[in-house]
């Protein structure tokens, strides 16, 4: 569901319609969407508008099975196309007709429809599949957290291949209906609004809807035994939080933090403008990992993050991502700074508001913390490389770049940029370069040199700019 320049190609297609296409006019879609860091991520030749996942999960065995129906539009003439999936497929249909399929390469599913597909055509793709996500490892790595009472899909940059077939790249966003049946007494958590939860024959089916464009890595599924709290925000949005019944000593601190989600979102609306989605919340499953993820409308948190008591800062980070990362997403994974630099800077703004140190004080501290020779300064937040995509420098040096911007253009323009950007690129994609251009437009100042110093040089910048007025 990304914006395409369809006019010239649509015109070309309509001219070509008069001439019957021959088999030679159809080519396979590319096995990757063209990401500089992850060549196998996503696919070429089509654009998905909607995923409908109808699944069943058995926590005892970790068996996930069901049907995915994808609605897509072709962007070229296709003899075949790829999907990204790591589970086992038993049947594929394209526009209702059985299609040939083969697993190939890097968790790719190659689909050959009974008849080739013309450009600009709406297609439905039904994939029947099953598997135990915990058995899938890619390069020794997994996005599936097996828990004593179920499992969780939450990871970046990839998690979809562990649980549904997709065009697995942020460039192709879509809406989602996720329906998962689990044994009574177990819950299934996903994104958006819980539409219903009917029970029959000892099973309960959780029907979730995410009605705004959503990147595939921001789709999440958590099955387990949860306590669920629900409420509405002052403006009427449904809030749903879920806590594993098995959080032990961390249960209180986890709740004391995640229950502040609506308050955090209300504060962030003052900084970033209207909240971009129609639901919010968070969930804390009983995983052993230590990270969080900004899964759309409903971030994933790890119990360990609450081991020292409440941690509203991590809630601020993940809710800030709803604007910076989820609504405005990267064009390519090298643009990760437009997510993480801003989520980290939001934590500094929260600290300032809470009287725990101003953003400038935290920036001065982060700047002084590592001497010039520290490897920290060799990481370039503006293009860190796949191995350093989530390096601490992308976060901390990334936030320093924003403090440098603030001290260069002043608070008025800086906060106008922070609020204008999520409007300008709402539910779309943008790059680091797009941000530099936008900040230059708003401030009327040339900023290329500043961003080059803070985002693109493998060395410690000489100093933060002087901070007139707000030290
Ligand atoms: N966007 C996530 C966050 O900072 C990062 C998750 C990265 N994953 C990891 N295993 N380090 O909130
Ligand atoms: Zn983050």
Which atom of ligand 1 is nearest to 289's Cα?
A: 10
- Give pLDDT tens digits for 364-381: 999 999 999 999 999 999
Q: Sorting pLDDT into bands at 50, 70 and 90, what band is 23? A: confident
Among 291, 336, 337, 339, residue to substitute to test ligand 1 (most atoms within 8 Å of Cβ): 291
Cβ atoms 118, 8 nearer than 8 A: no
The rounded Å distance from CA 387 to ligand 1 centre is: 13
Which atom of ligand 1 is nearest to 340's Cα?
A: 4
Return the number of other C-beta atoms located less than 10 Å from residue 389's C-beta. 17
List, in order, residues 6 or more apart from 328 with CB less than 8 Å away: 338, 421, 422, 425, 426, 428, 429, 430
The percent of residues in the chain predicted with pLDDT above 90, rounded, is 92
List, in order, residues 6 or more apart from 266 with CB less than 8 Å away: 233, 234
pLDDT of residue 139: 85
Which residue is listed with tokens 């500094």? 348
Q: Which two tokens stand for residue 432?
A: 């680091």
The rounded Å distance from CA 52 to ligand 2 centre is: 27
pLDDT at 5 over 70: no
Determine which of 5-9, 81-85, 325-329 has the lowest per-residue pLDDT on average. Answer: 5-9
Q: Sorting pLDDT into bands at 50, 70 and 90, what band is 3? A: very low
The rounded Å distance from CA 292 to ligand 2 centre is: 8
Among 157, 293, 313, 324, residue to substitute to test ligand 1 (most atoms within 8 Å of Cβ): 293
Return the number of other C-beta atoms located less than 10 Å from residue 409's C-beta. 21
Residue 190 CA to residue 41 CA, distance in Å, equals 23
- Name the closest ligand to CA 294: 1
Phi, psi of 66 (to 5 degrees): 155, -155
- Name the closest ligand to CA 324: 2
Mean pLDDT, residues 89-104 taken together: 97
pLDDT of residue 439: 98
Closest CA to 418 of 332, 318, 341, 354: 341
357 φ/ψ sector (left φ>0, alpha ψ -120 to 50, else beta) = left
> What are the start-end ranges of the H helices in 165-260?
251-258
Mean pLDDT, residues 399-421 taken together: 98
Pairing of strands 199-200, 428-430: unpaired
Pocket of ligand 1, beta carbon within 6 A: 156, 291-294, 317-318, 340, 390
Give 138's strand partners. 141
Which atom of ligand 1 is nearest to 314's Cα?
A: 12
Which atom of ligand 1 is nearest to 292's Cα?
A: 12
pLDDT at 4 over 60: no
Return the number of other C-beta atoms located less than 10 Å from residue 340's C-beta. 26
pLDDT at 400 over 60: yes
Residue 311 CA to residue 255 CA, distance in Å, equals 10
pLDDT at 7 over 50: no
* CA 410 distance to own-chain centroid: 31
pLDDT at 17 over 80: no
List, in order, residues 6 or more apart from 381 with CB less than 8 Å away: 336, 337, 340, 341, 393, 394, 397, 398, 401, 454, 455
- Tell me which residue has its CA closest to atom 9 in ligand 1: 291
pLDDT of residue 227: 98
Q: Sorting pLDDT into bands at 50, 70 and 90, what band is 170? A: very high
Determine which of 12-16, 86-90, 210-214, 389-393 has the lowest per-residue pLDDT on average. Answer: 12-16
- Tell me which residue has its CA closest to atom 1 in ligand 1: 293
pLDDT at 19 over 70: no
The rounded Å distance from CA 407 to ligand 2 centre is: 23
Residue 40 CA to residue 104 CA, distance in Å, equals 11
Question: Which regions of 318-404 does DSSP assign to beta strands (E)?
Answer: 328-330
pLDDT of residue 102: 98
- Tell me which residue has its CA closest to atom 2 in ligand 1: 293
- Give pLDDT tens digits for 100-159: 999 987 899 999 999 999 999 999 999 999 999 999 999 889 999 999 999 999 999 999
3-state SS class at 210: strand
Residue 190 CA to residue 176 CA, distance in Å, equals 10
The rounded Å distance from CA 58 to ligand 1 centre is: 28
Q: How many residues does the chain have?
A: 471
Which residue is listed with tokens 């943008």? 430
The rounded Å distance from CA 341 to ligand 2 centre is: 8
- Tell me which residue has its CA closest to atom 12 in ligand 1: 293
Cβ atoms 35, 386 nearer than 8 A: no
Give 68's strand partners. 53, 127
201 φ/ψ sector (left φ>0, alpha ψ -120 to 50, else beta) = left
- Tell me which residue has its CA closest to atom 5 in ligand 1: 293
**Higher model confidence: residue 393 or residue 3?**
393
List, in order, residues 6 or more apart from 353 with CB less than 8 Å away: 267
Mean pLDDT, residues 403-423 taken together: 98
Q: Sorting pLDDT into bands at 50, 70 and 90, what band is 469? A: low
Residue 132: C-alpha distances to residues 55, 84, 217, 441, 460 (Å): 13, 16, 19, 50, 46
pLDDT of residue 15: 52
Among 390, 391, 394, residue to substitute to test ligand 1 (most atoms within 8 Å of Cβ): 390
- Give pLDDT tens digits for 327-352: 999 999 999 999 999 999 999 999 99
The rounded Å distance from CA 334 to ligand 2 centre is: 14
- Give pLDDT tens digits for 40-66: 999 999 999 999 999 999 999 999 999
The rounded Å distance from CA 156 to ligand 1 centre is: 6
- Tell me which residue has its CA closest to atom 8 in ligand 1: 156
Average pLDDT, the chain: 95
Among 156, 326, 338, residue to substitute to test ligand 1 (most atoms within 8 Å of Cβ): 156
The rounded Å distance from CA 61 to ligand 2 centre is: 32
> CB-side exposure of 89: number of CA atoms within 13 Å?
26
The rounded Å distance from CA 316 to ligand 1 centre is: 14
């Amino acid at each position: 569901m990304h914006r395409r320049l369809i006019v010239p190609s649509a015109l070309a297609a309509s001219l070509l319609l008069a001439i019957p296409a021959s088999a030679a006019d159809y080519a396979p879609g590319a096995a990757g969407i063209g990401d500089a860091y992850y060549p196998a991520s996503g696919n070429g030749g089509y654009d998905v508008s909607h995923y409908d996942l109808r699944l069943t999960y058995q926590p005892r065995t970790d068996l996930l099975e069901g049907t995915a129906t994808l609605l897509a539009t072709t962007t070229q003439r296709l003899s075949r196309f790829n999907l990204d999936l790591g589970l086992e497929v038993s049947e594929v249909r394209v526009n209702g007709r059985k299609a040939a399929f083969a697993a190939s390469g890097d968790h790719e599913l190659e689909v050959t429809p009974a008849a080739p597909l013309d450009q600009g055509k709406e297609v439905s793709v039904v994939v029947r599949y099953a598997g135990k996500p915990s058995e899938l490892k890619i390069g020794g790595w997994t996005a599936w957290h097996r828990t004593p009472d179920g499992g969780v899909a939450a990871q970046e940059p990839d998690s979809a291949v562990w649980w549904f077939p997709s065009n697995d790249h942020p460039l192709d966003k879509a809406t989602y209906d996720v329906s998962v049946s689990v044994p009574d007494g177990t819950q299934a958590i996903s994104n958006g609004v819980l539409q219903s939860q009917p029970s029959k024959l000892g099973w309960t089916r959780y029907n979730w809807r995410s009605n705004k464009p959503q990147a595939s890595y921001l789709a999440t599924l958590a099955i387990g035994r949860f306590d669920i709290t629900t409420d509405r925000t002052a403006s009427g949005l449904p809030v749903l939080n879920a806590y594993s019944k098995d959080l032990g000593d961390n249960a209180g601190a986890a709740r004391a933090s995640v229950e502040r989600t609506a308050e955090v979102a209300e504060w962030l609306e003052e900084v970033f403008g209207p909240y971009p989605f129609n639901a919010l919340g968070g969930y804390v499953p009983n995983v052993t990992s230590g990270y969080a993820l900004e899964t759309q409308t409903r971030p994933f948190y790890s119990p360990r993050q609450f081991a020292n008591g409440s941690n509203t800062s991590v809630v601020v980070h993940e809710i800030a991502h709803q604007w910076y990362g989820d609504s405005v997403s990267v064009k390519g994974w090298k643009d990760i700074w437009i997510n993480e630099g801003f989520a980290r800077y939001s934590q500094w703004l929260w600290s300032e508001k809470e009287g725990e140190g101003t953003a400038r004080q935290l920036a001065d501290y982060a700047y002084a913390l590592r001497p010039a020779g520290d490897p920290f300064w060799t990481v370039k937040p503006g293009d860190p490389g796949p191995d350093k995509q989530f390096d601490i420098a992308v976060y901390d040096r990334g936030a320093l770049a924003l403090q440098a911007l603030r001290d260069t253009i002043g608070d008025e323009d800086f906060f106008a940029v922070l609020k204008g950007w999520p409007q300008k690129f709402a539910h779309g994609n943008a790059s680091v370069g797009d941000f530099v251009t936008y900040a230059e437009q708003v401030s009327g100042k040339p900023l290329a040199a500043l961003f080059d110093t803070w985002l693109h040089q493998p060395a410690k910048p000489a100093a933060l700019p002087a901070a007139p007025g707000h030290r």
